[in-house]
Amino acid sequence: MRLSALPKELQAKVREQYPAKPASGKGPRTPAQELKLLKMRAQREKFTGSFEKLWKQCGGPALETEYRIPGQTRAFRFDYVHLESRTLIELDGGIYVAGRHSRAKGIQDACDKKNEAIQLGWDTFVLCTGIITEDRVRAIVEFVNQKIKTK
């Protein structure tokens, strides 16, 4: 959405809150860049919120977020982790909008991240846009609970 498509009052608020920044990444962002960033954050919150809601509905144990595995060669962060069962859960969004998880470099990095976690003894689940369903989340909850019981 272009900034010019917004009502004048909202345009002024966006420009006031987010001073201009060149696209090069140096200096402040442009209002259009900020608007895009805000939309992406809102979509991410909706995406993670639906997972967290289903996780609770399915009786899933507490999860930590933004976890870094000790001993990894790179400082990869995983969206969710259940430490006791050594289970990682990744949410890959943006697959329909040429986001990070649908471009070559992003896919390669995600493969490295997940493969290294598996080599270090972690079970890894990946859910992407469109497949965060109660059945899939329940299957992960059951997997985690089973691992806890067998310890």
Tokens matching residue 52: 């967290």
Helix (H, G, I), strand (E, B) or coil at 55: helix
Answer yes or no: pTM beyond 0.75: no
With respect to residue 49, please indicate whether it lies within any of the assigned structural domains: no
88 with 19, same domain: the answer is no
Is 91 part of a structural domain of the chain? yes
Q: Check whether residue 70 and residue 33 sit in a common domain.
A: no
Domain of 145, in residue numbers: 58-149
Helix, strand or coil for residue 96? coil
Same domain, yes or no, for 88 and 117?
yes
Q: How many CB atoms lie within 10 A of CB 61?
A: 14
102 plus 77 within the same structural domain: yes
- CATH, residue 112: 3.40.960.10
Same domain as 71, residue 34? no
Number of H helices, E strands in the chain: 4, 4
In a domain, 51, yes or no: no
Q: How much is the pLDDT for 3?
A: 67
Asked whether residue 33 falls in the same domain as residue 71, the answer is: no
C-alpha distance across the termini of the chain, in Å: 51
Residue 47 lies in a domain: no
pLDDT, tens only, 29-63: 788 888 877 887 777 778 788 999 999 999 999 99
pLDDT digits (tens, 9 = 90+) for 81-129: 999 999 999 998 766 566 665 667 877 888 888 899 999 999 999 998 7
Buried b (16+ CB within 10 A) or exposed e, 3-32: beeeeeeebeebeeebeeeeeeeeeebbbb
- Are residues 141 and 70 both part of a single domain? yes
Residue 131 sits in the same domain as residue 64: yes
pLDDT at 86: 96
Of the two residues 138 and 92, the one the predictor is more confident about is: 138
Per-residue tokens: 116: 């290294």
